Amino acid sequence: MYEAEISQRKTFAIISHPDAGKTTLTEKFLLFGGQIQTAGAVKSNKITKSAASDFMEIEKQRGISVATSVMTFPYKGKWENILDTPGHKDFAEDTYRTLTAVDSVILVIDCVKGVEEQTKRLMEVCRMRKTPVIVFVNKLDRDGKDPFDLLEEIEEILNIAAHPMSWPINGGRDFKGVYLIPNKSLNLFESNKTKKANDVVRVDGVNDPLLEGMVGEKNAKKLQEDIELIDGVYGELDLKSYLEADVAPVFFGSALNNFGIQELLDTFIEIAPNPLPRKTQDRDVAPTEDKFTGFIFKIHANLDPRHRDRIAFLRVCSGKFLRNKAYKHTRIDKSFRFANPYTFLADSKEIADAAFPGDVVGLYDTGNFKIGDTLTEGEILQFKGIPSFSPEIFKELINLDPMKSKQLEKGIQQLTDEGLANLFVQELGSRKFVGTVGELQFEVLQYRLEHEYQAKCRFDPRVIHKACWMTGPEADLKDFMKFRQQNIAYDKEGNPVFLAETAFILRSAIDKYPDITFHTTSELV
């Protein structure tokens, strides 16, 4: 019923290692989509300039993305839903959850550093979910690695076949441009940080005499040799292999200089998948179904600190989402209407009267939603695959101002609802333990608690090896929880969690209670 709308939509994430140029690329997509007129350079750790998609104050100070930004822009008759994810490893969980809401991914690699550790981790999640990937090798205007070596790194480290779609002519100071392999044209490089590069010169393949006059005899000869080798090894792109996440098309360019972006974006529009089916606990939901379904993959409190708002980000999976129509919240079995659903351009919002499969909508929330919640037109469904991981670092939350206890309680509840960290509460003394995958999250939490909730606190380190959710016979669980009372806390859903202090203690518990399964991952349902 909604095939025409679905065919116009592409929903994707941009992922990378920190400082590879991911947020810059996002900004340039908005430039090409006409959403912004002039692009500003992103400079790390400078407060003077910041990208359109990094809107939180701490992001501007640190020069890094710490939250997923959601943006929508039109391009060549298509409607692009782009999710710019945090690159920093401490915020990987936000990125992992975001990947559940997209149909494809653009992976940015720094040509100077090549494939980095965080890139590998992110790619593992994409491979696990069979998410189609396009690679953009960035910063060609800097002296970097040989492009053939980069292709080899992509294939060996990321475990995916690479297929070059464009090819650089030199690099660094001698960077002349890229040759576009499918349509045999040349894009000559011009350093330009604020405008669109569109000087594509049509040439009749690499043997066209025009080529030598444009890039020089030596460069033309090298390009001819490279393309001959590429044609022999790679041939034409197999679209089916790309959609099945077995092959990654590779583009080369410079996001900062708007170079190579047009070719990437045009190819993406042509080959990237439209909205795909989504798994629930009972069945697969097809985007073409008449009735609306969707799930919450992200929650952000205080998107606008002046209004103390809280936005739940909904991925529409099927049917048509309508403003002011009642929808069933399946976890709590209640119906809700949304008077002001939003679409986004970073921190600016527009009211959306309707949304279709693939669209991301912001819903004003008073505390009813958690990450992973499902909305439907009445059917009891629960979308799958939004995990919560056992944290790696644990600290106890200490209130520094007893007069602001309510503000601190509200703040820590709301911020952990966003998935920024795990909160575990011990019944003994009501102690609160916060678990994260990195130190930077504590810095962000402390900053936001003080500046958004006026609640001062500190985080004292605690020796905890793993947080383990538990399943097993009720009698065994009861006995274990009594035996290990001082190590038992409860997560935000009220599930008991074993906070094992050391690997030895966890191993001893597993040996002593063989019928209890200790899980280090929990699905947020």
Together in a domain, 359 and 453: no
Tens digit of pLDDT for each residue in 210-254? 777 778 888 888 988 999 999 899 988 999 999 999 999 999 998
Q: Which residue has the tokens 């995916």?
A: 160
Q: Which of 224, 249, 271 is the last residue of a domain?
A: 271
The string of DSSP letters for 208-272 reads -HHHHHHH-HHHHHHHHHHHHHHHHHH-S--HHHHHTTSEEEEEE-BTTTTBSHHHHHHHHHHHS
- Given a cut of 70, whether residue 376 has pLDDT beyond it is yes
3 located within any domain: no
Question: Residues with Cβ < 8 Å from 327, sequence gap 6 or more?
Answer: 292, 321, 335, 336, 337, 338, 375, 376, 377
Together in a domain, 304 and 395: no
Q: Which domain holds residue 129?
A: 10-271
- Given a cut of 70, whether residue 474 has pLDDT beyond it is yes
- Joined together, the tokens standing for residue 26 give 């996002």
pLDDT grade for 59, boundaries at 50, 70 and 90: very low
Please, are residues 382 and 293 in contact by the beta-carbon 8 Å criterion?
A: no
Among 109-113, 178-182, 191-195, 370-374, the range with the most confident prediction by mean pLDDT is 109-113
pLDDT > 70: percent of the chain: 84
For 267, list phi and psi in degrees, rounded to 5: -70, -40
The average pLDDT across 148-171 equals 93
Burial of residue 447 (CB within 10 Å: 0-12, 13-18, 19+) is middle
4 located within any domain: no
Looking only at the bridges linking them, the beta strands covering 496-500 and 466-471 are: antiparallel
Paired residues of 258 in beta bridges: none
Together in a domain, 41 and 169: yes
The string of DSSP letters for 356-404 reads -TT-EEEEE-SS---TT-EEESS----B---EEEPPSEEEEEEES-GGG
Together in a domain, 133 and 227: yes
Together in a domain, 308 and 198: no
DSSP letter for 330, please: T
147 located within any domain: yes
Task: Find, among 105, 7, 32, 34, the residue nearest to 356 by Cα.
Answer: 7
- Given a cut of 60, whether residue 119 has pLDDT beyond it is yes
* Count of H-run helices and E-run strands, the chain: 14, 33
Together in a domain, 132 and 29: yes
**What pLDDT shows up at residue 390?**
73
Together in a domain, 266 and 282: no
Together in a domain, 215 and 315: no
Together in a domain, 369 and 397: no
How many whole angstroms separate alpha carbon 358 and alpha carbon 365? 21
Please, are residues 138 and 254 in contact by the beta-carbon 8 Å criterion?
A: yes
How many domains are there within the chain? 3
Amino acid at 384: K
Together in a domain, 142 and 209: yes
How many whole angstroms separate alpha carbon 90 and alpha carbon 401? 28
The average pLDDT across 372-398 equals 86
CATH of the domain at 505: 3.30.70.3280
2 located within any domain: no
Burial of residue 229 (CB within 10 Å: 0-12, 13-18, 19+) is exposed
**What pLDDT shows up at residue 345?**
63
How many whole angstroms separate alpha carbon 106 and alpha carbon 15? 6
Together in a domain, 368 and 401: no
Together in a domain, 417 and 350: no
In 3-state terms the chain splits into helix, strand, coil percentages (rounded to 5) of 30, 30, 40
Gap between the terminal Cα atoms of the chain: 30
- Given a cut of 90, whether residue 428 has pLDDT beyond it is no
Helix, strand or coil, per DSSP, at residue 513: coil
Q: How far is CA 381 from the centre of its chain?
A: 24
Paired residues of 120 in beta bridges: none
**What pLDDT shows up at residue 522?**
67
CATH of the domain at 339: 3.40.50.300
Tens digit of pLDDT for each residue in 1-57? 678 899 999 999 988 887 888 878 888 888 877 765 544 433 333 323 344 444 455
- Given a cut of 80, whether residue 328 has pLDDT beyond it is yes
**What pLDDT shows up at residue 1?**
61
